[in-house]
Amino acid sequence: MPTTEVELLQGTLDLLILKTLSLGPRHGAAVVRWLEQVTEGALVVEEGSLYPALHRLERKTWVSSEWGVSEHNRRVRFYALTPEGREQLLAQMEDFRRLVRLVTRVLVQSPATAPR
């Protein structure tokens, strides 16, 4: 069972990264910062999870990267969504919406409404 949980978490992180990059190219720290801002600090992505996910997305050709200079004048790698990544984002968003609907359907069941 733990393998399934890790795959689900990785898939969710991939979706969040793809969505973040759909708003424009960013370096890793900017991806983390944006996710923290949007979730009001409730979601903190550690570097140990972020960079393996970015590299995985790059291997799948959903994300591209190039070296650039950050707002603090540091050399950093900027990641951008590719056309394939944009297609994948749309597909994953629909899959995630469907999953949320199904889980919600289960969670709202009460003894009186649950099928037997």
Token representation of residue 81: 């969504």
Instruction: In whole angstroms, give the CA distance from residue 70 to residue 86.
Output: 24
What value does the mean pLDDT of the chain take? 90
Q: Which CATH architecture has domain 12-107?
A: Orthogonal Bundle (1.10)
- pLDDT above 70: residue 1: no
Domain residue spans of the chain: 12-107
Q: What is the pLDDT of residues 16-41, one digit of tens each?
A: 999 999 999 999 999 999 999 998 88
Instruction: In whole angstroms, give the CA distance from residue 6 to residue 13.
Output: 10
pLDDT at site 9? 56
- pLDDT above 70: residue 6: no
Q: Look at the pTM and tell me if it is higher than 0.95.
A: no
